[in-house]
Structure 1
Amino acid sequence: MGMSVTISAADERDVEQILKLQYLCFQTEAALYGDYRIEPLVQTVDDLRTELAQGCVMVARLGDEVVGSVRGRVDTEGTARIGRLCVHPRLQGHGLGGRLLAAVESRLTAEYAAKRYHLVTGSRSEGNLRLYRRSGYAPVGTERDRQVTLVALQKDAAEYAKSA
């Protein structure tokens, strides 16, 4: 009998599992850009606890194991900044990233009155770019973070409501 993956809000008990998963998942990004000091790899437990207290952190669970995570926070203009979407490598390619993204969008709209969603990903991260485009995001510019060029993507929250 197999277990199904459930998605829910994270809590304090998930912090260490989220950081371990994030560290595992972002290794490929670090290798792609030759930079092992990217923010997801150096984030501390205290940093994540602050994010948990001030924003929206969602997790995907397979039983008791956290196998996916994503975060978001809405600024004063109503822009939801979404980041750190990650899915355990053994579960990638099965739609879990899209489910997590939809879950965080839904919660950011319902509980934090998001008007639009904004995220960034590395310009060479083709899998991420495909997922975000498939989810209705459009490129709105580029940003530089140290030696990495990031693509900024955005979508209106009303677009989420139409597709939900």
Structure 2
Amino acid sequence: MGMSVTISAARAQDAEHILKLQYLCYQSEAELYGDYAIEPLTQPLDDLRAELAEGHALVARLGDEIVASVRGRVDDDGTARIAKLIVHPRMQRHGLGGRLLDAIEDHFAAEPATAAQRFQLFTGHRSEGNLRLYRSRGYVPVSREQVGPRLTVVILEKESSALGYVTSA
């Protein structure tokens, strides 16, 4: 009998496990761009703990093991900035990234005090799998930013479906 993956809010004590998974997951990105000094590979644990305390993070667990995570926060302008969607390499291509993305969007759209008006995320220009996932979820590229000699970041956005619709009488 197999175990199912459950998605829940990350806890403060998950920080070290998330950081280790982040390090594993970003190896392929570092290789793709020839840069092993990218921020996800050099992020200190205290910085991750601060991100978890300031925003919202989700984890996917297979039993007790954290196999995926995503985090973000809503800015004052109502933009939910989603970051570091990571899935353990052995769990990729099974829809888990999409489930996590949907779950964090639902969270940010449902928070009455900070309801997101739009969602924004970014990925590298060569990260075709990421771009494909984000486009399939309704994200569209809105800008590009050269951040290094080999890396251009593609910034993608979509409007929140939780926004009310105006009806005419």
Q: Do Structure 1 and Structure 2 share a fold, with TM-score over 0.5? A: yes
- Cα deviation 1:79-120 (Å, max 9, x = unaligned): 011110010000100000000000111111112311100000
Which residue matches 2:109?
109
Which residue matches 1:153?
156
The 1-side partners of 2:153 and 2:87 are apart by: 20
So what's the TM-score if we normalise by structure 2? 0.92
Asked if the contact 1:68–1:85 (Cα under 8 Å) also holds between the matched residues in 2, the reply is yes
Distance change in 2, residues 1:88/1:78 (3 Å): same
Which residue matches 1:129?
131
The 1-side partners of 2:61 and 2:147 are apart by: 31
Q: Which has the larger radius of gyration?
A: 2
The 1-side partners of 2:62 and 2:2 are apart by: 10
The 2-side partners of 1:26 and 1:160 are apart by: 33
Comparing 150-159 with 131-140, greater Cα deviation is found at 150-159
Asked if the contact 2:121–2:155 (Cα under 8 Å) also holds between the matched residues in 1, the reply is yes
The 2-side partners of 1:51 and 1:113 are apart by: 19
Asked if the contact 1:105–1:160 (Cα under 8 Å) also holds between the matched residues in 2, the reply is no
- Cα deviation 1:67-86 (Å, max 9, x = unaligned): 00001111000001111001
Give the number of the structure whose residues are more often helix, by fraction.
1
**Aligned residue pairs: how many?**
162
Where does 1:1-164 land on structure 2 (aligned, <5 Å)?
1-111=1-111, 112-147=114-149, 148-158=151-161
RMSD after superposition: 1.6
Unaligned runs of 5+ in 1: none
Asked if the contact 1:21–1:67 (Cα under 8 Å) also holds between the matched residues in 2, the reply is yes
Unaligned runs of 5+ in 2: 165-169
Which residue matches 2:167?
none
Q: 3-state DSSP class of the match of 2:161?
A: helix
Asked if the contact 2:74–2:108 (Cα under 8 Å) also holds between the matched residues in 1, the reply is yes
Asked if the contact 1:74–1:108 (Cα under 8 Å) also holds between the matched residues in 2, the reply is yes
Q: 3-state DSSP class of the match of 1:107?
A: helix
Moved over 4 A (4+): none
